[in-house]
Amino acid sequence: MNKVGIFTAALTLTFFGLTACAQDKTSAQTAEDKDAAKLSKDGYAAIRDVSLARLAIFNGQPVEAKKYTNEAQMALERAKSDNTVYTKAESDLKAPSGMPQRGSGATASTSPTAWIPVDGSLTLGEDYVASPEKSAGVAKANEELKKGSHKQAMETLKLANIDISFVMEVAPLEKTTAGIRKATELIDAGKYYEANQALKGVEDGYRFDVTDAEGAPTKAASKTSKPAATSVSAKN
């Protein structure tokens, strides 16, 4: 079985599973890596509400759309104080190996920006090569993940010398907040097309960021390497 197949079958975690894993970080991490390894439940709720608001506008339900943008704003306000926000220049965000950064058509800012991790998944390290021992380790970790034993699964993979990384989807806090606020105002003004475009702009602002599952900074991705396998979206 190739490495992509193994990962897809064994290591795809939901948002809530990743949140539990992220809380098992060791004290050896730097402050930035520790913060970046967490995911925000309220941030996830906010981006889900943005998607639902766009769907409501498409279906001609402005009242529902306004409800979702209001909920998104409240979720982001809560997220500001949940200790998941971290600061990093957009140009320093790491995309998964062999994949383009989201929004790569625009020039990445070099200014410090507050990011909120809103979704994510685990991926096998780019140097993973299948062997009977490692395949057995992945299979065992898969069973432990199914039982909710996230910490034990991470230990199983570590003992099998299998490197894994967190692939996060992050949103720029200020731009996301401003975009949702603008969309709410446009809905109030009856400008539904413009409101949808404002929400699309919010979604276009999401980016990837990768950290090592043990908390160490991930090495720069090779432009010629291919990703082991990545499943970032956990929107069900």
Which residues lie below 8 Å from residue 50, measured CB to CB, with a gap of 6+?
68, 69, 72, 180, 199, 202, 203
The most distant pair of C-alpha atoms in the chain lies apart, rounded to whole Å, by 62
Residue 226: inside a domain: no
Q: How far apart are CA 11 and CA 29, in angstroms?
A: 23
Highest mean pLDDT among 64-78, 109-123, 201-215: 64-78
User: Which H or E element spans position 17?
Assistant: helix 15-22
Residue 235: inside a domain: no
User: Could you read off the pLDDT of 4-48 as tens digits, one per residue?
Assistant: 333 333 344 433 334 333 333 333 334 334 434 468 999 999 999
Domain count of the fold of the chain = 1
CA distances in angstroms from 58 to 73, 128, 163, 186, 227, listed in the order given: 20, 43, 43, 15, 35
CATH number of the domain within which 45 lies? 1.20.120.1940
Helix, strand counts (H, E) of the chain:
9, 4
Residue 134: inside a domain: yes
Read off the pTM: 0.69
Q: Hunting for tokens 């097309």 — which residue is that? A: 193
Q: pLDDT value at position 234?
A: 34
Residue 130: inside a domain: yes
Residue 208: inside a domain: yes
Structural domain boundaries enclosing 82? 3-212
Residue 236: inside a domain: no
Q: What is the mean pLDDT of residues 207-232?
A: 50
User: Could you read off the pLDDT of 154-201 as tens digits, one per residue?
Assistant: 788 888 888 777 788 999 999 999 999 999 999 999 999 999 999 999
Residue 147: inside a domain: yes
Please state, for a pLDDT cut of 90, what percent of the chain lies above it: 44
